[in-house]
Amino acid sequence: MKGCVLKLAGPRPLAEAISSAGGVRWSELDSALMVRRLPGIFVTGEMIDWDAPTGGYLMQGCFATGTRIARSALERLPASMRT
């Protein structure tokens, strides 16, 4: 990510700028939010290509996807390590 060069073309209106559009496409993820091409790597929140109006929807989406990947990662652990 640090090697990704971004060319800034200009500012966007606040209504758009408050949520960073872009990110990993849903089609690249399985239902556990694991990157299909990188097994064991999960993405959440604004790492995923989605956005929403403000008013709590962004944070709710981040909390929901964060909870999902935490559960997904736990499910991949051996049973002896889950407690």
Question: Which of 28, 46 has the CB closer to ligand FAD?
Answer: 46
Residue from 21, 59, 64, 74 binding ligand FAD (CB under 6 A): 59
Does residue 18 belong to the site contacting ligand FAD (CB under 6 A)? yes
**Cα gap 70→77, rounded to integer Å:** 11
Instruction: Say if CB 13 and CB 49 are below 8 A apart.
Output: no
**Cα gap 16→67, rounded to integer Å:** 26
Stretch that binds ligand FAD, among 5-13, 28-36, 57-65, 71-79 (CB under 6 A): 57-65
Closest CA to 21 of 41, 47, 40, 43: 47
Q: Which residues bind ligand FAD (CB under 6 A)?
A: 18-19, 45-46, 54, 56-59, 62
